[in-house]
Amino acid sequence: MVVTASEAHRAIDAVWRIESARVIAGLARLVRDVGLAEELAQDALLAAVEQWPVEGVPRNPGAWLMATGKRRAIDFIRREQNLRKKVEILGQELDPLGAVPEVEEAPEIDDDLLRLVFVSCHPVLSTEARVALTLRLLGGLSTDEIARAFLASESTIAQRIVRAKKTLAKAEVPFEVPAREEWPARLSSVLEVVYLVFNEGYSATAGDDWLRPALCNEALRLGRVLAGLMPKEPEVHGLVALMEIQASRTAARVGPDGRPVLLLDQDRGRWDQLLIRRGLAALARAEELDGAEGTYALQAAIAACHGRAGTSEATDWARIADLYDTLGKVTPSPVVELNRAVAVSMAHGPAAGLELVDDLMSEPTLKSYHLLPSVRGDFLMKLGRLEEARGEFERAASLTRNARERTLLLERAAACG
């Protein structure tokens, strides 16, 4: 399809954002090296930048990128094979009786993307490095987006990703599936990555869109595959439950004009009841496996309170506040405390919520977190302190990187007079 140069570049950006993880994963399976796979994928991207504005956007852009990357991978493999043959000949000359021991292959995970997650979550890396690297490769997230997910600076995340790649290369970590008994050791990182990818799709940190459904769908698919691979791991079912129930609200979270619709304002008749039922079944499975107080199971239980309520008024906010209290003890986090403040305000009034939020104002990790002033502005607005509320909404709007969310926050500021 022939297009203008600007249209071609927009297409390249969109396709790369959607397909990069799948391309990298497919190439990594061929060359068995994550860093090299990313380089080959970048080469394919560069070829698209050079060719598409001249030749037009191909009918299947993702397949074009994969095919181009594979051609470069095959060239690399051929060079490596030629080199290996020369080394083998030299080795035979030095030791004609030498033999290469057979290596038993690890069990296969029949999914390139999930295989990439397990490989990138190698124990040689710290937990933070595993998650940052895999988000970069799998989610196609920018360094800035990952930094906001971690509530860390962009430079910190950039350094973390670079060090992770160097560590994998130095340790000569191959692209291979770990033995099944090694899966549990990597599971927490794998689950964290999958959920952060889902979150980026559920509430995009930057850009013009409130939602990125492709990321949500991919994370949910990976979670379901994991549940099949590890059916006795309660936290896997807890994560699937959480994603299923949250995904059920997708159609109601955006208005006809693309603007965000907040939870309490959503038309619950548009929630997907099939996804809710699937989520509740996954939560029940997690609880059957004694995982009721797992991090994801607790969050799923909170989501279930919303999913079971026919209206916002029927929501059991007291139970939600109690669940957040338990979650804060299991996984201490200022973000959890902020969410607990919202639940407390709904159960016991905005003054009670404001008291909790004010205690978080000096929390350094929330300094640039736009939801803190947004929540505080909401409480102040309900208490009739409109001038203060307007200032908080304006501050929140200045901190968010999402255009849709910024518009919503500025409208709320204007509503304060």
Give dist(CA 325, CA 323) in Å, integer.
5
Using the structure block, give the residue that is written with the tokens 């022939």: 2
User: pLDDT value at position 32?
Assistant: 73
Rounded Cα distance, 248 and 235, in Å = 20
Query: 60 phi and psi, to 5 degrees?
Result: -120, 85
Report pLDDT for 176.
64
CB 413 within 8 A of CB 397: yes
Is the model's pLDDT at 35 over the cut of 70? Answer: yes
Asked if pLDDT for residue 281 goes beyond 70, the answer is: yes
pTM: 0.72
Residue 211 clears pLDDT 70, i.e. is over it: no
Residue 83 has pLDDT above 70, yes or no: no
Say what percent of the chain tops pLDDT 90. 38
Instruction: Name the residue with tokens 């909790």.
Output: 356
Rounded mean pLDDT of 89-116? 49
Mean pLDDT of the chain: 83
Domains contained in the chain, CATH given: 5-88 (1.10.1740), 316-417 (1.25.40.10)
Tokens at residue 308, please? 């079971």
Q: How would DSSP label each residue in 106-124?
A: PPP-S-HHHHHHHHHT-TT
Q: Is the model more confident about 307 or about 174?
A: 307
More confident residue, 109 or 123: 123
Q: Which residue has the higher pLDDT, 333 or 171?
A: 333
* Res 92 pLDDT > 50: no
Phi, psi of 401 (to 5 degrees): -105, 0
The H or E element containing residue 207 is strand 206-207
The first and second tokens of residue 220, run together, are: 């949910």
Closest CA to 31 of 94, 75, 96: 75
Burial class (CB within 10 angstroms; exposed 0-12, middle 13-18, buried 19+) of 207: middle
**H-helix or E-strand spanning residue 402:** strand 401-402
Q: Which of 106-115, 161-170, 336-345 has the lowest mean pLDDT?
A: 106-115
Output the CA torsion 273→274→275→278 (10° steps). 120
**266: DSSP letter:** S
Query: Considering only 98-107, 284-293, 337-346, which range has the smallest mean pLDDT?
Result: 98-107
Token pair, residue 5, equals: 């140069």
**pLDDT recorded at residue 222:** 84
Q: Which of 38-42, 92-96, 412-416 has the lowest mean pLDDT?
A: 92-96
371 pLDDT exceeds 70? yes
Tell me what pLDDT residue 140 has. 63
Please tell me the least confidently modeled range out of 242-256, 269-283, 325-339, 382-396.
242-256
Output DSSP code: residue 6: H
Confidence of residue 91 (pLDDT cuts 50, 70, 90): very low
Q: At 260, is the secondary structure helix, strand, or coil? A: strand
